Amino acid sequence: MAAGAVFMASLDADKTVATTCPYCGVGCGIVVRPESEGGADIHGDETHPANRGRLCSKGAALGETLGTTDRLLAPRIAGRNADWDESIDLVARRFCEAIDSYGRESVALYLSGQLLTEDYYVANKLMNGYVGTANIDTNSRLCMASSVAGHRRAFGTDTVPGVYEDLEQADLVVLVGSNLAWCHPVLFQRLAGAKQARPALRVVSIDPRRTATSDLADVNLRLAPGSDIALFGGLLCAVAEADAIDTEYVGSHVSGLADTLAAASSMTLNSVAEATGLSTDTLAGFYENWVKTERVVTVYSQGVNQAVNGTDTVNAIINCHLATGRIGRPGMGPFSVTGQPNAMGGREVGGLSTMLTCHLELENAVHRQAVQDFWASPAIADRPGLKAVDLFDACAEGRIKALWIMCTNPVVSMPEADKVIAAIKACPFVIVSEIADDTDTSVLADVVLPATGWGEKSGTVTNSERCISRQRPFREPLGAARHDWKIISDVASAMGWSSAFNYESPAEIFREFAALSGVAASNGADFDISGLATITDAEYDALQPVHWPLSECRNGGRFFADGDFYTPDRKARMIAVNCKPPPSQTSPVYPLRLNTGRVRDHWHTMTRTAKSPRLSRHIAEPFAEIHPSDAKKYGIDEADLVTVENVSGSIVVRALITDSTPVGSIFVPIHWTNHWSGSARVDALVQGLVDPISGQPASKASAVRVSRLNACWFGFVVSRFELRPQTNYWARALLPNGCWQAEIADTCVPPDWAALTRELTGIQSDNVAHMEDLERGTARVAITDGGQISAVLFAARHPVEVARSYVVEAFANDASAFDILAGRPSQSDFDPGPIVCSCLNVGANLIRAKIDELHLTELNPTMAATGAGRVCGSCQPEIKKLLAEPLQKAKA
Ligand code: SF4
């Protein structure tokens, strides 16, 4: 803990508060100093074991996301403001009516890996123990359900065996389907730091794409999409052929070896080469390296999980570690990293519809009885509930009569997202608990309930290495916002169960949960935090990050070094899997495979990160990465707008032509919503195919086609007023000082460019500077209002070629209309170029200029010369890419 930090809900601007980042599963500790204007000064917590003071660009910019605009401040019923009593009564009544009329399976909750453990626990207790249904699922189903299923099959329980230190202690780290540099940036920095300190640490990246992570890797295996399972089937064969099976460990602690080897036996070097597209030499080199390296960690995330065979691929990875006994010891083991800040907490409380609380099993009558006895509840769910995709299908079919969505935006994030809109509309009663006003989902709800957000909430989260950390409040709840655990408890009380839900504080909920984990452990579960069951409120406030298990006899550490697993025979199970990659969904009509994922500086559906101008400037509009040969085939030029479509939907995004994505695939980010772009909800195109074991959707394998959008003009607008374009294509982003920018395009030319600029910006001033070149088809407009340039528009027949960073800077600095409309710097000015370093606003052109001027070839001197990369370090892979440009040019 940083000096001077307090652990209580102090809202005193002179004090600092230690809390946890609300974004990814790394779970970094943060020290916050609240500012009197409502913002906050943010620093990494040097004492937190996950990050040791580091933060990535998203975490470092959290202070910019605390604004009150777009916050939901009061309950809303059918679009009108309401008070809490009326809202709670209505929700409780409609839930009770649905249960009375249609049964307990007619109601459902859809939650989020961003809820705190205490929120999650109360929701799960209400549904499993009081309503008596397991129809409670979470957006974590979309993220790592296949890892959960794989763990349970192999270990008998959902256990992550290792800790982050293993990545630093390993001699070989294999990253599978994981762009760690952008999706888990601080863990990536820890790995990069370890490799710098100990160059013998080798890193292999297995990914069809070249990503920011590739730069760190000694070897990049750009295999055919979906072929990971063949690669790991082949690895198991290579382990056996090299006589590297740890027969002693396997003999004592593992079952299923013979069947698993038999299932993988067809994975010869040649057949793996055929499946993956990698050469036999490359494969042999990787296999030899893996087999010979005792300390090996295999890290995997969405690239593995989000597939129709995600669970099998997880087990194919785990099989290799079990066969070699490389698990549970320092520097070795399979390691699933979670996407969300509390995906693990959700798993612990039973937030997935397939699990009972505390890693107990719904299918186990003894477990169910133990939980029901502990809760003294009137019921207990006795079978798995609906998984996310099935849940929304059930809504569409009229089987769900009341649905409560908390802290997530399924209209953007679920597969076949347009179908999800129809499903929500078909459900007779929908409640959304949200912090943001008018999300794509909440506009469809009958009741919208204002929840507290990060900085207001108090509770715990668990990160990817089983470390429980406190999220602490440092500001008052905005408006009438309430904590999620309180809202759920109020509804449960109104449904008649007040004595079981009369919680006064998150500490009280946590103690109950910790006590229940002791019951779970006595019934054979791995999850045990019973050592915290009696902590006082003050101890809860002061709770330091702590790894589970935490009981009288265990205190953190790794699992399974002793070879004791949670199966009936206490042995781990190797699982015989089909090592053939699943068939492609592509067809002559939809010939491209759609891969989806994250960008560096945005988070999920951007309700928070889009409030930060510096984060928005890194990548300001949605895009599709397209390989040059596919671009040529489909007549697409750089910066064209493209329609990406299939039977499920259609989006329009910017073309980014790059060989980073393989031939036959395109990559589109998941973040953009209807709030930020006209038509870029990529999950509308993701087909509803799921892994049959985990129910996790295959979000990286849908078939699509791509075509150039025949826009007849393109525009770039900067305004001091909010932009809400209605053009055929638009994508907007917030700039510093409340300014906005938007990329726009349309299929018919407006009769009057000045009138269009007024319409876009809402500025009515007649003080307009207007330049038009009819021959070249360009127009430039500046509107002055109150003596200040208030908006500028650049329009052209082709994608607008202006130096955007220069225009934005010139606009912000009140340059003359002449200078701004020039669209690029004069000789005495400098265009910083696209933003690379969000922390210090350093552009690519500046970094290139310094590389050129100082003949830089190394990262550290470049960071010293430009400042870029020195604060959070998230942009270091991009700086390295710029450093490689002169070399690539020379080669060309
Ligand atoms: Fe937050 Fe970044 Fe740390 Fe993830 S890596 S927890 S986003 S600061």
| 187 alpha carbon – ligand 1 mean position (Å) | 9
Using most ligand atoms within 8 A of CB, pick from 56, 871, 872 the residue to mutate for ligand 1. Answer: 56
- Which atom of ligand 1 is nearest to 874's Cα? 2
Summarised one tens digit per residue, pLDDT across range 671-680 is 999 999 999 9
**Mean pLDDT, the chain, as a whole number?**
94
Q: Which tokens is 101 given?
A: 């009329």
Cα–Cα distance between 164 and 141 in angstroms, integer?
A: 23
Ligand 1 proximity of 22 Cβ (cutoff 6 Å): no
Kindly indicate the confidence band of residue 13, based on its pLDDT and cuts at 50, 70 and 90.
low
Using most ligand atoms within 8 A of CB, pick from 30, 164, 184, 469 the residue to mutate for ligand 1. Answer: 184
Give the β-pairing of 768-773 and 202-206. unpaired
Ligand 1 proximity of 58 Cβ (cutoff 6 Å): yes
At residue 10, the pLDDT reads 39
CA distances (Å), origin 70, targets 67, 77, 115, 180, 439: 8, 18, 20, 31, 9
Kindly indicate the confidence band of residue 835, based on its pLDDT and cuts at 50, 70 and 90.
confident
Kindly indicate the confidence band of residue 68, based on its pLDDT and cuts at 50, 70 and 90.
confident
**Letter string b/e over residues 152-169, b meaning 16 or more CB atoms within 10 A of that residue's CB:** bbbbbbbbbbbbbebbbb
Summarised one tens digit per residue, pLDDT across range 451-481 is 999 999 999 999 999 999 999 999 999 999 9
Ligand 1 proximity of 26 Cβ (cutoff 6 Å): yes
- Which atom of ligand 1 is nearest to 463's Cα? 6
| 4 alpha carbon – ligand 1 mean position (Å) | 23
Count of all residues that appear for the chain in the document: 892
Q: Which tokens is 861 given?
A: 């001197």
CA distances (Å), origin 388, targets 141, 211, 405, 419, 429: 7, 29, 11, 13, 18
Q: pLDDT at residue 523 above 70?
A: yes
| 855 alpha carbon – ligand 1 mean position (Å) | 33
Q: Which tokens is 698 given?
A: 């295959």
Q: pLDDT at residue 654 above 90?
A: yes
Cα–Cα distance between 740 and 759 in angstroms, integer?
A: 15
CA distances (Å), origin 851, targets 418, 605, 847: 47, 36, 6
Ligand 1 proximity of 823 Cβ (cutoff 6 Å): no
| 24 alpha carbon – ligand 1 mean position (Å) | 5
**In this structure, which amino acid lies at residue 555?**
N
Cα–Cα distance between 188 and 2 in angstroms, integer?
A: 23
| 180 alpha carbon – ligand 1 mean position (Å) | 11
Q: Which tokens is 236 given?
A: 């198991």
The percent of residues in the chain predicted with pLDDT above 90, rounded, is 87
Using most ligand atoms within 8 A of CB, pick from 19, 20, 21, 31 the residue to mutate for ligand 1. Answer: 21
Cβ distance 415 to 399 under 8 Å?
A: no
Q: pLDDT at residue 4 above 90?
A: no
Q: For the residues of 276-294, what is the DSSP string, one character each?
A: H---HHHHHHHHHHHHH-S
Ligand 1 proximity of 61 Cβ (cutoff 6 Å): no
The percent of residues in the chain predicted with pLDDT above 70, rounded, is 98
Q: Which tokens is 196 given?
A: 């710098």
Using most ligand atoms within 8 A of CB, pick from 19, 20, 28 the residue to mutate for ligand 1. Answer: 28
Kindly report the pTM of this predicted structure: 0.94
Give long-range contacts, CB 8 A cutoff, 24+ apart: 848-854.
848/882, 848/885, 851/882, 851/883, 851/885, 851/886, 852/886
Q: Which residues pair with 771 in a beta bridge?
A: 780
Cβ distance 562 to 540 under 8 Å?
A: no
Ligand 1 proximity of 308 Cβ (cutoff 6 Å): no
| 803 alpha carbon – ligand 1 mean position (Å) | 31
Cβ distance 806 to 829 under 8 Å?
A: yes
Cβ distance 132 to 381 under 8 Å?
A: yes
| 434 alpha carbon – ligand 1 mean position (Å) | 22
Summarised one tens digit per residue, pLDDT across range 478-511 is 999 999 999 999 999 999 999 999 999 999 999 9
**Letter string b/e over residues 798-830, b meaning 16 or more CB atoms within 10 A of that residue's CB:** ebbebbbbbbbbbbeeebebebbbbbebeeeeb
**In this structure, which amino acid lies at residue 132?**
G
Kindly indicate the confidence band of residue 892, based on its pLDDT and cuts at 50, 70 and 90.
low
- Which atom of ligand 1 is nearest to 55's Cα? 8
| 20 alpha carbon – ligand 1 mean position (Å) | 9
Cα–Cα distance between 736 and 806 in angstroms, integer?
A: 14
- Which atom of ligand 1 is nearest to 57's Cα? 2
Give the β-pairing of 641-646 and 649-657. antiparallel
Ligand 1 proximity of 461 Cβ (cutoff 6 Å): no
Tell me what the mean pLDDT of segment 780-788 comes to. Answer: 92
Q: pLDDT at residue 829 above 90?
A: no
Q: Is the peptide bond before 751 cis (omega within 30 degrees of 0)?
A: no
Cα–Cα distance between 30 and 55 in angstroms, integer?
A: 8
Query: Which residue, judged by its Cα, is nearest atom 2 of ligand 1?
Result: 56
Ligand 1 proximity of 231 Cβ (cutoff 6 Å): no
Ligand 1 proximity of 23 Cβ (cutoff 6 Å): yes
| 775 alpha carbon – ligand 1 mean position (Å) | 50
**In this structure, which amino acid lies at residue 855?**
H
Give the β-pairing of 835-837 and 788-796. unpaired
Q: Which tokens is 409 given?
A: 């935006």
Kindly indicate the confidence band of residue 871, based on its pLDDT and cuts at 50, 70 and 90.
confident
Cβ distance 470 to 423 under 8 Å?
A: no
At residue 226, the pLDDT reads 96
Give the single-character DSSP code of 207.
Answer: -
Residues sharing a CB contact under 8 Å with residue 853, sequence separation 6 or more, in sequence order: none
Q: For the residues of 605-624, what is the DSSP string, one character each?
A: T-TTGGG-HHHHTTS-S-EE
- Tokens 């374009």, located at residue: 725
- Which atom of ligand 1 is nearest to 184's Cα? 5
Ligand 1 proximity of 56 Cβ (cutoff 6 Å): yes
| 740 alpha carbon – ligand 1 mean position (Å) | 26
Tell me what the mean pLDDT of segment 117-143 comes to. Answer: 97
Q: Using H for helix, E for strand and C for coil, what is the string for 344-367?
A: HHHHHHCCCCCCCHHHCCCCCHHH
Ligand 1 proximity of 186 Cβ (cutoff 6 Å): yes
**Letter string b/e over residues 718-752, b meaning 16 or more CB atoms within 10 A of that residue's CB:** bbbeebebebbbbbbbbbeeebbbbbbbbeeebee
Residues sharing a CB contact under 8 Å with residue 685, sequence separation 6 or more, in sequence order: 594, 644, 645, 646, 648, 649, 650, 651, 668, 702, 704
| 55 alpha carbon – ligand 1 mean position (Å) | 6
Ligand 1 proximity of 185 Cβ (cutoff 6 Å): yes
Cβ distance 138 to 339 under 8 Å?
A: no
CA distances (Å), origin 52, targets 46, 47, 62, 513: 4, 6, 18, 28
Ligand 1 proximity of 30 Cβ (cutoff 6 Å): no
| 70 alpha carbon – ligand 1 mean position (Å) | 23
Q: Which residue has the higher pLDDT, 371 or 863?
A: 371
- Which atom of ligand 1 is nearest to 60's Cα? 8
Query: Which residue, judged by its Cα, is nearest atom 3 of ligand 1?
Result: 28
Q: What are phi and psi of 117, to 5 degrees?
A: -55, -40
- Tokens 């225009």, located at residue: 807
Ligand 1 proximity of 21 Cβ (cutoff 6 Å): yes
Give long-range contacts, CB 8 A cutoff, 24+ apart: 199-202.
200/171, 201/170, 201/171, 201/172, 201/173, 202/171, 202/172, 202/173, 202/289, 202/293
CA distances (Å), origin 147, targets 299, 581, 668, 691: 11, 18, 24, 11
- Which atom of ligand 1 is nearest to 22's Cα? 1
Cα–Cα distance between 516 and 481 in angstroms, integer?
A: 29
Q: What are phi and psi of 96, to 5 degrees?
A: -65, -40
At residue 116, the pLDDT reads 98
Ligand 1 proximity of 346 Cβ (cutoff 6 Å): no
Cβ distance 400 to 417 under 8 Å?
A: no
DSSP-based three-state secondary structure for 298: strand
Cα–Cα distance between 528 and 555 in angstroms, integer?
A: 10
Summarised one tens digit per residue, pLDDT across range 160-180 is 999 999 999 999 999 999 999
At residue 14, the pLDDT reads 65
Cβ distance 621 to 692 under 8 Å?
A: no
Cα–Cα distance between 567 and 768 in angstroms, integer?
A: 75
| 464 alpha carbon – ligand 1 mean position (Å) | 12
- Which atom of ligand 1 is nearest to 24's Cα? 4
Query: Which residue, judged by its Cα, is nearest atom 4 of ligand 1?
Result: 24
Cβ distance 205 to 235 under 8 Å?
A: no
Cβ distance 173 to 206 under 8 Å?
A: no
